[in-house]
Structure 1
Amino acid sequence: MGFDRRQFYNGVIQTGFPIGGCVVAIAAIFMIPAFGWKSMFGVGGLLGVVLFVIAYRNLPRTECLPRKQGSARRGPRTGAALFHRCLAGTRYGT
């Protein structure tokens, strides 16, 4: 993915924070009197779980993580080695 594309998607993500805040504030106007303030935590938690499942199923697996092959463990054993391996093919790697 090109650098310009990453900047575009970063902008989309950053735009979602204030829009999400406005949507939650409007939803709170109706939900808190009807269900109480704790209902907002329930809805937020439910949305988080649903979005996690959608992302887990749809995002591609990164190639820098080791895959299971039988019982032998392959790949880096420490977090630092995994981090170095992930950056090796990028412009940030050494």
Structure 2
Amino acid sequence: RLCVSVLGGEQSVRRVFEHPTFWAMASRNYENLEEGIARLSPEEREQVTERLHDPGGEITDDAVVQTLQEEGRMPPEDPPPGGAPGRDDRGPSRWG
């Protein structure tokens, strides 16, 4: 909800970085990322690096997001507060 509030322009992004839940989640995700990278072969690491530098980037398809939500692997999206733009109305960003 905090992230939705920040994306909706209601709160500063600093609030996210001040929240202890953010740091707990970031730590877990970073550890998972390190473990995953360690398991890759040198060729696979090179492929990942190339994809990261692709200016076109990748965007997760809405159907994949919906499936993850239905499986309980991703929380459902709350309606944006204050009429903030929906997922498809935001336009491109540096995050893809």
Query: TM-score band, normalised by the shorter chain?
Result: 0.3 to 0.5
Bigger CA radius of gyration: 1
Please report the TM-score for the alignment, with normalisation by the length of structure 2. Answer: 0.35
Higher relative contact order (CA 8 A, sep 6+): 2
The structure whose residues are more often helix, as a share, is 1
